[in-house]
Amino acid sequence: MTVRRDLPIWLGFIGGIVVVLNTFFDSAFLREATKRVLEWRVIMAAVALALGGGNMLRIHWKTIAGKRRNWVNSAILISAMTIVFLMGITGGTKTQEYSWMFNNMYSPLGATVFSLNAFYLASACYRAFRMRNGPAAVLLVAGTLVIFGKVGIGAMMWSRFPAISDWIMNVPNSAAMRGMSMGAALGMVGVSLRVVLGLERGHLGGAQ
């Protein structure tokens, strides 16, 4: 038994069991213990965020020091990160300068990057809608009906397009999404139980 390998497993087991028991049993001790566990979760998340930021600074600083390819982008990233961090620490996130940077720099850049998804989505739809077999044909027909039901020209061509589109979205699509959500929830429960019981150790990295 080694501390490096077994201590994280026992901590995960104790924390997980406490939170699970608090869900099913009404106990002042469990409520207080769960509160402390959740508080430590927030602290550990903050530590992980700090480690991630420090690691990113270290990697990009090496790129700048070695004048590697695209080192200017690394310099811009570090400068922007440092400026925003200092502004948030000294003045808070409600100052006029911080809000100006967020609204006039971060938000437009985020919208620009997000808008690029439209081109990737169009390319993905073109590849997915090629009618190579039966399921692809069903996907093509359903996608076409939904598209015509959501755009104005579709209702002008046939007044039933919007109703058909709504039915596809509310009935078959909702049923499929709920099935996927239930499957994902069961998978999450299974992985959580494996972590709590110490059977899943991939998150420990080299401490397995």
Tell me, what's the pLDDT at 32? 93
Is residue 12 a contact partner of residue 196, using CB atoms and an 8 Å limit? yes
| Residue 207 scores a pLDDT above 50 | no
| Residue 208 scores a pLDDT above 70 | no
Structural domain contains residue 75: no
Structural domain contains residue 159: yes
Q: Which residues make Cβ contacts (< 8 Å) with residue 37, sequence separation at least 6? A: 15, 18, 19
Q: Is 97 exposed, middle or buried (0-12, 13-18, 19+ CB in 10 A)?
A: exposed
| Residue 7 scores a pLDDT above 90 | no
Tell me, what's the pLDDT at 205? 65
> Which of 43-52, 58-67, 74-83, 116-125 is predicted least confidently?
116-125
Q: What is the pLDDT of residues 111-160, one digit of tens each?
A: 888 888 878 877 877 777 777 788 878 888 888 899 899 888 888 889 89
Cα distance between residue 70 and residue 59, in whole Å: 13
Tell me, what's the pLDDT at 9? 83
Structural domain contains residue 92: no
Structural domain contains residue 1: yes
| Residue 182 scores a pLDDT above 90 | yes
Structural domain contains residue 98: no
Q: Which domain holds residue 130?
A: 117-185
Degrees, nearest 5: CA angle 50-51-54: 85
Same domain? For 2 and 63 the reply is yes
Tell me, what's the pLDDT at 149? 92
pTM score, whole prediction: 0.58
| Residue 195 scores a pLDDT above 70 | yes
pLDDT band for 173, please (50, 70, 90 cuts): very high
Q: What is the pLDDT of residues 105-117, one digit of tens each?
A: 889 988 888 888 8
Segment 39-45 shows an average pLDDT of: 90
Same domain? For 63 and 122 the reply is no
Structural domain contains residue 79: no
Structural domain contains residue 142: yes
Same domain? For 63 and 2 the reply is yes
What DSSP letter does each residue of the chain carry, written as one string? --HHHHHHHHHHHHHHHHHHHHHHS--HHHHHHHHHHHHHHHHHHHHHHHHHHHHHHHHHHHHHHTT-TTHHHHHHHHHHHHHHHHHHHHH-TTSHHHHHHIIIIIHHHHHHHHHTHHHHHHHHHHHHTS-SSHHHHHHHHHHHHHHHHHSHHHHHH-TTHHHHHHHHHHTHHHHHHHHHHHHHHHHHHHHHHHHHTT---GGGGGG-
Structural domain contains residue 190: no
| Residue 167 scores a pLDDT above 90 | yes
Give the chain's domain count: 2
Cα distance between residue 137 and residue 116, in whole Å: 27
